[in-house]
Structure 1
């Protein structure tokens, strides 16, 4: 029987961005950052929203910080996206399922958070909020037990993580020791044949710069239709593209099924960054929609749900390479055989140097050196919250 101190308080904060960018809402960057430079999106069919993702509001939510304090004063925390709306859900709805409870009851707490919000949740913002609470709970549990999260998940299956880099400069990623580079697709269907040619020309230039043995991938950010995605896959295959990622709307399971069926042999179809919970991933897996699933642990339901998603993928022989999310995915990836490598988001404006992904919110956030990283074995997720940033608790109780 657990003898851990009970949970005393749950608190939800938002971060007031000063315009310099950074943090869990990593799309909220200043002008000139590669992550906001004419990237293909579902909104690119409207010319006024084509140049910048911020123009249609990709950065409106901001960062959510969740703290969970035990009776003995130990505090676990986590950061994700969701901002003020998610803070409201955490404080006004989810906190009741934690305060006064044993922090080891992670399964029961998750179940109650999910099913109590199902009538207005199931995906998106509500599951982002649940994910933030779940991650903070795992962090608290690790601190109370004086164990890293990866130890509580069964222990590492490898000594260190190997990374590919996501950013606009795969050639720089190769110089920095990464095993591959995933580029944003810059032109979608609305830009016609000329846009398609530009996409392929960029891929060809990077292939020439990086050589034949370096992985190159396209991140399509839900921007394409089935016909365009199929054409892009076949043309890019000639240039050695390793995978085509999130080409279609996350709701179009049937489109993904057709894309995987029609893709060139050896070309991987990947998706799942904007999918949530075991039920969403069950659709992707049972319909054979993709070769790799890419849940974001801060959006899909947290570690508690990622365990279930990973097990389903493993049984199907499908790799699970979580989307970004820094230490929150590192602790999981290092414990799973079907997660043989990890993603690192290049958050430097020019995608030309390695900087911490969630800076300045996390203190002690590890980054890959020469494309590799040993997961820190400090308790919890092994990072601390930067108390010098402007935290605001909009729904204090």
Structure 2
């Protein structure tokens, strides 16, 4: 099986939830009056979909070995990423050994460096990389976590991201991360309302439950600093992605400026070991939050994690379902994980990447047993009844 070679790679596009979890219908909490960098424009203030957060859709990548075994992965990037996979990245995949993941990654990255480095191109690379790990696990009949060192704990514990941390507490999660609903454009009145919302939620969940704020790149340094100090009285555990991901200097200043004991977290929209090296060496944050489907895939996440470990920082991946679970369960510096509450009202636990993944494990009482991840590869299947479109072919 180690000598199996890859004979085909295919890129498909899907719409509606799943990996592109913002691609939801009206009434979903994830699209409802959340502060964003576009909040300064009235036409784009109410809904994130209004400025196109769901424009790309899901990218599905399949890789097929010469014995007919197929590995797959889902991420974001949609049709533009599918073009990159089919028309450029495929030459570095077809004909290679299924086990040559490091070689393939290196060639994909440096061949696209002149127009890539972050964003859409690295999303495409991530999708290919995850599909390769899934293929290798299926060929070897091993779960991915076994191929990267094996579990260091018997279960993964989760905090929940969603509009109702109080309900998340009842469901057994260790904490709740709320979206920030008021942007700087709404002035002091908006900040006061944000703090009132936090105070109300603290009253509901009690003193010991973690509460965090996801600011989704919406703030400037001054506003983020004032928000952090105002929130300290209500036991805010961390302030997340408060400013632009390109403003390393702003994060460096924010980390110094927040109240003692409050954590600064970021990295959801960062990519590759070089981007995270900036965050770590400049002391920008306490926790890095790479998304394995966006940062370069599992191959790159392992390098990012080693860097973080050397700097004494935690790695708590952004969402990404089974693709992060197999990583988290193997790392000492990833002691818990994020679960996105994808029920429209954040009032029940549903599979994060539904409807695209079949067999996706979900937390029970805020936890997933390591043994639930023991199927070959990433342990999930693609729902092939969905409208898979392959816009580009060789």
User: Structure 2-normalised TM-score?
Assistant: 0.99
Kindly report structure 1 stretches of 4+ aligned residues shifted beyond 2 Å.
none
Question: What are the equivalent positions in structure 2 for 1:217-366 lying under 5 Å apart?
Answer: 217-366=212-361
Partner of residue 37 from structure 1, selected from 32, 52, 60: 32
Secondary structure of the corresponding residue to residue 255 of structure 1 = helix
2:3 is aligned with 1:11: no
Contact 1:135 1:303 in 2 (8 A): yes
Cα distance in 2, alignment partners of residues 3 and 65 from structure 1: 24
CA distance in 2, matches of 1:222, 1:3: 43
User: Any idea what SS the aligned residue of 1:392 has?
Assistant: coil
Aligned length: 392
| Cα distance, 1:78 vs structure 2 | 0.1
User: Structure 1: 5+ residue runs without aligned partners?
Assistant: none
Q: Which of 381, 385, 389 is the aligned partner of 1:384?
A: 381
TM superposition score normalised by structure 1: 0.98
Q: Which residue of 1 aligns with 2:392?
A: 395
Distance 1:35 1:334 in 2: 27
Map of 1:104-119 to 2, 5 A cutoff? 104-119=99-114
**Matched residue, 1:146:** 141
Partner SS for 1:150: helix
Separation (CA, whole Å) in 2 of partners of 1:249 and 1:222: 5
2:126 is the counterpart of 1:131: yes
Contact map agreement 1:4 1:144 (CA 8 A) in 2: no
How far apart, CA to CA, are the structure 1 residues paired with 2:369 and 2:127? 24
Residue segments in structure 2 that go unaligned for 5+ positions in a row: none
Given that 1:12 and 1:64 are in contact with CA atoms closer than 8 Å, whether structure 2 keeps it comes out as yes
SS in 2 for 1:242: strand
The structural deviation recorded for 1:5 is: 1.2
CA contact (8 A) 1:159 1:374 kept: yes
Structure 1 position 4, deviation (Å): 2.5
The aligned residue for residue 54 of structure 2 is: 59
1:3 Cα shift? 3.8
Once superposed, what is the RMSD of the aligned Cα atoms? 0.7
Deviation per CA, 1:243-300: give whole Å up to 9, x if none.
0000000000000000000110000000000000000000000000000000000000
Q: How does 1:122-201 map to 2 (within 5 A)?
A: 122-201=117-196
After the TM superposition, which residues 369-380 of structure 1 pair with which residues of structure 2 at under 5 Å, given as runs?
369-375=364-370, 376-380=373-377
- 1:103 aligned onto 2:98: yes
2:265 counterpart SS class: strand
CA distance in 1, matches of 2:111, 2:175: 42
